[in-house]
Amino acid sequence: MRQRFLLFVICIAALVMAAPVAANSVPTTGTRINLFAAPATFPSGTAFYVEQGSACEPSVDSASLCMSADTHFDLYLDGALQTSTVDIENSPDAWIKLNLTNYPAGLSAGRHTFVGVWVAGGSVYMTMSARITFTR
């Protein structure tokens, strides 16, 4: 079941990559940076956001696992845990729980490291990092 859950999360991540607007009217700033396809460079001082998370299939997974406080996405920037806003999008086909972090002023020039940690039911099931050089 855990492998199926992970596969479903990856498929949803691919779909979310193409989504131009955040779900449930949670406001975003600037361009989305997706850890699955992070750019090598990005302009410094330019607004952006990171929104990642998990999705569950109602016919396979339980709502208590998917929507619990123990299921979340944590974002670290240069080693510091970032605050985020929970963004939920539910439909008959999927329960999607995303964590949104906005950077309205962007970041300073230089190389920054983003680390994403996906947690389900209190257990880490995936981590991913991206190094992005923010240019002047």
Give pLDDT tens digits for 24-71: 678 999 999 999 999 999 999 999 999 999 988 888 888 888 889 999
Residue 110, pLDDT > 80, answer yes
* Residue-level pLDDT at 1: 52
Kindly indicate the confidence band of residue 22, based on its pLDDT and cuts at 50, 70 and 90: very low
CATH value at residue 85? 2.60.40.10
* Residue-level pLDDT at 15: 43
Structural domain range at position 13: 2-135
Task: For residues 69-75, give the mean pLDDT.
Answer: 95
| pTM, 2 dp | 0.82
Residue 23, pLDDT > 80, answer no
Kindly state the tokens that stand for 115. 């680390």
Specify the number of domains making up the chain. 1
Give pLDDT tens digits for 80-94: 999 999 999 888 888
38 contact partners, CB below 8 Å, separation of at least 6: 114, 130, 132
* Integer CA distances (angstroms), 14 to 6, 11, 32, 57, 92, in order: 13, 5, 13, 16, 19
**Measured between alpha carbons, how far is 43 from 135 in angstroms, rounded to an integer?**
5
* Residue-level pLDDT at 65: 81
The one-letter amino acid at 36: F
